[in-house]
Chain A
Amino acid sequence: MAADLLELGQLFVVVAVAGAVALRLGLSVIPLYVVGGVLSGPFVAGRLGLPYVENGEIVTLFAEVGIVLLLFFLGLEFSLDRLLESRTKITRSGVVDIAVNLPVGIAIGLVLGWSLVESLLLGGIVYISSSAIITKSLIDLGWIANPEAEPLLGTLVFEDLFIAVYLAVVTSLVLGGGGDGMGSIVQSLAVAFGFLGLLLVAVQYGTAFFSRVLDVSEQEAFVLRTLAVVVPVAGAALALGVSEAVAAFFVGMGFATSGHREKIERRLTPVRDVFGAVFFFWIGVGTDPTLLAAAAVPLVVAVVLTTPAKMLSGYLGGRVYDLSKRRSLRAGLGMVPRGEFSLVIAALAAGGSTPIMREIIPAFAVGYVLVMSMLGTILMGQSSVVERLVFRDGEERTEPAGG
């Protein structure tokens, strides 16, 4: 017990320091939490003979709560009405986003000789952009007040919806597939969609229930009641082999219509941030840096191919929103950062049955998120340089005409 508490204490010290460094450097906290986890885990601190944090039961459970709360907040922010309101634009930019990026990831996996499920996991990891990092950068750079914020945030809404469906399917493939043939896959998919379907119906008709549960003014009771709905539903889902993340997403959608959305966001954000930090740290703890070498080939190929792919799809998304070429290019740069959801997919893969799923994909995802979160943030910060590089031809042509 004392050892566990000390270990948890070490975790929070590392995370707090990582957060301070991120703040100092103006970076997103996510990659730094992950690096903190790698350094203080068994593979680095452990090998050096320093006190290290083990990938133990407690940390894993906290990390699991982190995943649940991350997706719960995603559901809370997700509004079907908002999606329907500007559905043509969001759908068109969202479909371009999927059509370009998901196949690139899947193809990389297949070319490397991975199985279909493994390639699908890789596709998801490179497809899904980071809402947290992108939103933070938009605010930091002041782009939030510019027109390019709209295609960026709109496309992220579409990605959120897609990732819910994706996680539901892929969780069944990874946890239920087990390699014993089509029958068990079909069965686990049926269970997943049965459970999630029921949950969706409950969410749709349960607005009165959700608002009654939260109709309390004490902060403590409010927070506890929210957790008392989200965590058990997610737990029940996981017990049935259904994605706990998607279940939490749906509960979030239910709470969003209860009229308490902003209050939940205000009061539960600190809770989410604590468990979220543990989740990112935990991902790092489970990563053996020497495995990064094994994942080096897919990593380099993925960075080289998926950076321009995201920029292209983001650019086209900007054009769908009738933005100028310069602003569309920014929308492209803005979509590059990958983060929390790629790591959620990696955590799912880590529960799989093949060595590629258990070791290579999580190591790949950690390396990929570290590179892409930094690269994306840098590209956004240096967008004026990129704009000059890309549009240099155009300017050269217009200059002689003008002078």
Chain B
Amino acid sequence: MTVYESDLPGVGKKHEVELGDGARLVIVTHNSGKREVFRRADADSDSEKLFELSDQLARQVGTLLEGAYFQPVQTDRIETLLGEDTLLEWVEVGPDSPVAGKTLAESDLRQATGASVIAIERENEDVIVSPGGDAVVEAGDTLVVIGQTDACRDVLSTVRGD
């Protein structure tokens, strides 16, 4: 998928997303926060406006589209691709995980796998951003990991105790 971004001086920004059949989705984000969404059937046709959303509504719809509330397609993990071979991945620490109850330094994930834990999400608490080696991982935490695809796989199997 290619996304084209361009500035609209005095208005905001425009993103164009290729839909695969030659058509493009055009999203105009106004400086006021308003989003206008258009569809352009092909390079020669005019953009047809589909709908517009306020800033807040756009964020809520965006979360729905992202699948945060309902994902019919079962994937065993959420991952985000950054560039060719780098992943941002979320891993939940189960009660039987070998890393539960240990500090990051003790489980030594970075040395063992090459991927880094960049944040620890804990229910009902603030996210621990850039945790140090002395940060203790608890069962139920979600680790946010960044690294090469292979390294992330390794972290996944280590945390799950496979």
Contact = CB atoms under 8 A, between A and B. Distances in A.
A150 B14 CA distance: 10
B44 A142 contact: no
A98 to B, nearest CB: 18
A143 B7 CA distance: 14
Contacts of B28: 144-145
A146 interface: yes
Given A146-B46, A262-B31, A324-B44, A138 B11 contact: yes
Interface string A286-330: 000000000000000000000000000000000000001010000
A150 B40 contact: no
Interface string A238-267: 000000000000000000000000100110
B24 to A, nearest CB: 9
Interface range for B: 10 to 19
A149 interface: yes
Given A145-B40, A146-B40, A82 B9 contact: yes
B36 interface: yes
A77 B10 CA distance: 6
Q: Which of A142, A144, A156 is most buried by chain B, counting CB atoms within 10 A of its CB?
A: A144
B36 A82 contact: no
Interface in B1-22: 6-11, 14
B47 A145 contact: yes
Contact of A153 (B11, B31, B40): B11
Interface string A62-101: 0000000000000001110010000000000000000000
A144 B14 contact: yes
A139 interface: yes
Interface of A is mostly: helix
Contacts of B11: 135, 138-139, 144, 153
B8 A142 contact: no
A83 B44 CA distance: 27
A142 B47 contact: yes
Contacts of B40: 145-146
Contacts, number: 52
Contacts of B36: 139, 144-145
Interface in B28-61: 28, 31-32, 36, 38, 40, 44, 46-49
B44 A153 contact: no
Q: Which of B9, B11, B32, B49 is most buried by chain A, counting CB atoms within 10 A of its CB?
A: B9
Interface of B is mostly: strand
Nearest to B26: A145
Contact of B10 (A146, A156, A266, A324): A156
A79 B46 contact: no
A82 B7 contact: yes
B47 A146 contact: yes
A157 B46 CA distance: 24
Contacts of A139: 11, 36
A131 interface: yes
B10 A153 contact: yes
Interface in A320-343: 324, 326
Nearest to A326: B44
B99 to A, nearest CB: 39
Interface string B117-133: 00000000000000000
A178 to B, nearest CB: 36
B84 to A, nearest CB: 25
A101 to B, nearest CB: 20
Contacts of B46: 142-143, 146
Given A265-B31, A266-B32, A145 B38 contact: yes
A157 B7 CA distance: 12
Contacts of A157: 9
A162 to B, nearest CB: 15
A153 B46 CA distance: 18
Interface in A111-154: 131, 135, 138-139, 142-146, 149-150, 153-154
Contacts of B10: 77, 131, 135, 153, 156
A149 B8 contact: yes
A100 to B, nearest CB: 22
Given A144-B28, A145-B38, A145-B47, 20 more contacts: A77-B10, A82-B9, A142-B38, A142-B47, A142-B48, A142-B49, A143-B46, A143-B47, A144-B14, A145-B36, A145-B49, A146-B46, A149-B14, A150-B6, A153-B8, A153-B10, A154-B9, A156-B10, A157-B9, A326-B44
16 contacts: A77-B10, A82-B7, A138-B11, A142-B38, A142-B46, A142-B47, A144-B36, A145-B14, A145-B49, A146-B40, A149-B8, A150-B6, A153-B8, A153-B10, A265-B31, A326-B44
Instruction: List 8 A-B pairs, minimum CB-CB distance, nearest first.
Output: A145-B47, A145-B38, A145-B26, A77-B10, A153-B9, A142-B49, A157-B9, A135-B10
